[in-house]
Every structure is written in C-alpha cells, then in structure tokens.
Structure 1
Amino acid sequence: MAQSVEPLAVRIPLAAQMLGIGKSTLYEMIASGEIETIKVGRSTLVPTDSLRAFLARRRK
C-alpha cells in the first residue's frame, strides 16, 4: 500500500502551476508579501500552507 504524501513546500514553478498563474505573477505576489517563501540551501520554496492562506484571503 503506497501512501500519498502531500508536500509541505514546493518550488516556484509548481506553486505557480498550483495557483494557475504565471511565474512572474507569483514573483510579484512574493515581492509584495502576499505569499511567503523559505530558502533551503539555494532552493526557494513556497510553503503549501502559505498558498492555502493566500487563497483563503482572496475568497473573502
């Protein structure tokens, strides 16, 4: 039985794809502070809970 594991954070291209937006739009949202990122070594990751929080704020 293989269990599906949901990632805690994803790279920029996948985060943009998950939101259905372009990378440049995502970078603008990151720069404005709407979406959080973390650095792990040289990688920039977007926490999936940050994506969910962003969507929740936009729904209201």
Structure 2
Amino acid sequence: MKQSDIESYPIVLTAIEISEILKISKPTAYELMNRHDFPLIKIGRCKRVLRDEFFLWLSNR
C-alpha cells in the first residue's frame, strides 16, 4: 500500500475501517483487535488504533 493511500485513512481507525482495509468481517476485526500484540487504544468500551501504528504492526506480520 502506498503512503498516500495510508494517509487517506483517518488518524484513528475503528474496527469497521480495519475490516475494510484487510477485507475481513467486522467480528474478525474485533478478534484481531483483541490480540495481545495489537496496538489497541481503549476509550471506555470503544476500541481504536492509531493509523500509523496499525500499518507498522501490519508490516511486521
């Protein structure tokens, strides 16, 4: 994915956006977000991830 494509996403990603990026279902995105090595940010019950940390995490897979 090109840097310009990555920067087109919001700075903070939701499970819906992760599911769109990875072409997986929303429940599968939530499963992924529950992994211990995932760069998750919890705000109350909301789960989010910083865009740049997500793509860095993804590139190390």
Residue segments in structure 2 that go unaligned for 5+ positions in a row: 1-6
Report which of the two structures shows the higher radius of gyration computed on alpha carbons. 1
Q: Size of the alignment, in residue pairs?
A: 55
SS state at 1:15 partner? helix
- Measured in 1, the distance between the counterparts of 2:42 and 2:20 equals 20
TM-fit CA distance, 1:56: 0.8
Q: For residue 26 of structure 2, what is the amino acid of its counterpart? A: K
TM-score by length of 2: 0.59
Cα deviations by residue, 1:13-39 (Å, 9 ceiling, x for unpaired): 112111211122222222222422213
- Measured in 2, the distance between the counterparts of 1:41 and 1:31 equals 15
Residue segments in structure 1 that go unaligned for 5+ positions in a row: none
Cα RMSD for the two superposed structures: 2.5
SS state at 2:42 partner? strand
TM-fit CA distance, 1:54: 2.6
Identity level (%): 27
- From 26, 30, 35, the equivalent of 1:27 is 30
